[in-house]
Amino acid sequence: MVEMESDSELVTGDDVPDFELRGVDGESHALSEYGDNAAVLVVFTCNHCPYAKAKIDVLNDIAADYDDVAVVGINPNDATEYPEDSFERMEELVADGTIAYDAYLRDDTQAVAAAYGATCTPDPFLVVPSNGGFRLAYHGRLDDAQNPDDDPSGVPGGDVRRAIEQVRAGEAVTVEEIPSRGCSIKWRED
């Protein structure tokens, strides 16, 4: 396991790339379909990383707590080298209720993760509708529990929840963007 911190070239206010990826529900999902939401929490994540696994409940709770915010998990990892990150395992985790995001998508080509500059799992990007597309409102940790066995000092997901609340209130996000920490994305070696 290689631990990394998130480090995208996207900065707050930047337009973010749209995407269209296959979901575990058998449908294709595009970022553009969430344009009626106040925000979308796009999280590059996976099934096997202990850092990502430690945040599943946090993401499930955020998805459940905000009707106007979509939580979209994207798994970009090389499933050949890391079979637990396969699409079939993603389907199993959703079917058994372990993962309850609004959508769990597979980035088979890894192009979306590369376009966002995602580096670790989990790597959250809070995006908001803007001029027919989306722009980045916040890119940072979910909360201050940066290691899998840590408990947050406040509410689980507190950093991103504060950012969501500011977006929902029509305010600029002032939450400090402290990088997320997790396993490195498992890039394919083509």
What does the pLDDT read at residue 189?
83
What average pLDDT does this structure show over 133-141? Answer: 96
Tokens of 30: 């595009």
- What pLDDT is recorded for position 5? 59
Write out the two tokens for 35: 């344009």
Q: Which residues pair with 181 in a beta bridge?
A: 5
> What does the pLDDT look like over 142-162, one tens digit per residue?
999 989 999 999 999 999 999
Mean local confidence (pLDDT), 52-72: 98
How is 73-112 classified by DSSP, letter by letter?
A: EEE-S-TTT-GGGSHHHHHHHHHTTS---SEEEE-TT-HH
CATH architecture for segment(s) 3-184: 3-Layer(aba) Sandwich (3.40)
User: How confident is the model over 60-85, as a mean pLDDT?
Assistant: 97
Q: Is residue 123 pLDDT above 80, yes or no?
A: yes
pTM of this prediction? 0.95
What is residue 96's predicted lDDT score, i.e. its pLDDT? 97
105 DSSP β-pair partners: 23, 74
pLDDT tens track for 3-38? 555 666 888 999 999 999 999 999 999 999 999 999
